[in-house]
Chain A
């Protein structure tokens, strides 16, 4: 069966520090991969999605970036965090036929 791993679960970082969140999927090949963010009291905001290695689409201009170095690995990064980057970050995958998304358990990021 397929599983998705996302880490860390919680993270507290100072403003201006770098960020790296990692997500890996097991038990499937060529998945679509997604990063979403949920700010406090807000809906799910799509940040990035990828349909293949090295193929990244950005939905919202910001100081975040994403990379997909391997088929089942998706990384969210920032060189310098802002206070507004605080939120709940969720990684998700879906098969190529656009079946439902499967989410990880999320990373709660607090920028201080």
Chain B
């Protein structure tokens, strides 16, 4: 069956450091992979999408990599700030009109 694993339920880092979150998937052949941010009591908000033919994508302090051989995506936040504290969700998606299934997420806490 398809499986999405995000490393550690919680990750604590010092302000100013780079946070790295991992998303591993099995039994998927994703055409693309999405990352979302979820704050407590709110719905997830889309951050970045990376396609299977892209190795890396950047948006301001965010960087996503996608390795289809390792079946893994890494999500980096550079110069992290306390405002970056949230749960981050990954969602690989096969081609076609299939629904989006999410990993359980990693709760990031950036400590001042």
The residues of A with any CB-CB pair to B shorter than 8 Å are 32, 34, 36, 42-44, 46, 49, 51, 57, 59, 88, 90, 92, 94, 96, 98-106, 108
Contact = CB atoms under 8 A, between A and B. Distances in A.
A57 B102 contact: no
A101 B93 contact: no
Interface of B: 34, 36, 41-46, 49, 89, 93, 97-105
A13 B42 CA distance: 21
Contacts of A102: 46
A59 B89 contact: no
Contacts of A32: 97, 99
Contacts, number: 52
A57 B97 CA distance: 12
Nearest to B95: A98
B89 A44 contact: yes
Nearest to B9: A41
15 contacts: A34-B100, A42-B104, A43-B105, A44-B89, A44-B105, A59-B99, A94-B100, A96-B97, A98-B97, A101-B36, A102-B46, A104-B43, A106-B41, A106-B42, A108-B41
Contacts of B36: 100-101
Contacts of B43: 90, 92, 103-106
A44 to B, nearest CB: 4
A7 to B, nearest CB: 13
B99 A103 contact: no
A4 to B, nearest CB: 9
